[in-house]
Copies of this chain bind each other. A is one copy, B any other.
Amino acid sequence: MTNLFNFMGGEKGVWKIEIIKPIIGETIPNAARLEIIEGKIEHPAHHWILRGVTSFERYVTTNEKKALKAIQPPLNRPEAICAALIPIKKMPAWWELAPDERRRIFEAQSKHIEIGMKYLPAVARKLFHCREIGEHFDFLTWFEFAPEHAEAFEELLVFLRNSEEWTYVEREVDIRLSR
């Protein structure tokens, strides 16, 4: 399972956890640092662990994919010392929708991709899927940005959280980090 990533909250890791804020529903326990390890871990030592896999795209069109590819920054840029890890769980009603309806809410109504594009290349982003591997959350999104883009990042979150798509979110935690 080379595409599996473990986000482990505990005493170790290059990322210092600044704050863990529940946005919708139950929060997760506090921890001092975050360690990110790729691959399967047999006996992890941690306070909590959030696991996700990288996977193929679910909603983006061919043209959107091209546009994103042209502008998306890599992770680990030296200046990007701020990060956010945002686990999300959507309601059963979301998953019962056919994919064309999910896409309509995701982009035509909520402009998820269009909004995200506005904050590129300032805010680097990577999505991990958890639903299929039996985790509590459906997605983990990892964001990295420089301190001067922290305000822009807050704005991005406000837009997304006010979208129709977000009415389907039943649990969301906002974990902020720095290194």
Contacts and interface: CB of A to CB of B under 8 A. Distances in A.
Interface in A51-87: 53, 55-62, 64-65
Interface residues of A, number: 28
Contacts of A55: 131-132
Interface of A: 1-4, 40, 53, 55-62, 64-65, 95-101, 129, 131-134
Contact of A61 (B61, B100, B132, B134): B100
A53 B61 CA distance: 26
B131 A65 contact: no
B129 A98 contact: no
A134 B54 CA distance: 11
Contact of A98 (B53, B61, B96): B61
A36 to B, nearest CB: 18
Nearest to A97: B62
A50 to B, nearest CB: 15
Nearest to A133: B133
A53 B53 CA distance: 14
A55 B3 CA distance: 19
A156 to B, nearest CB: 23
A127 to B, nearest CB: 13
Given A53-B132, A53-B134, A62-B101, 14 more contacts: A1-B133, A1-B134, A4-B134, A53-B133, A55-B131, A56-B99, A57-B98, A60-B98, A60-B99, A62-B97, A62-B98, A62-B100, A129-B132, A132-B132
A136 to B, nearest CB: 11
A11 to B, nearest CB: 28
A38 to B, nearest CB: 12
Nearest to A131: B55
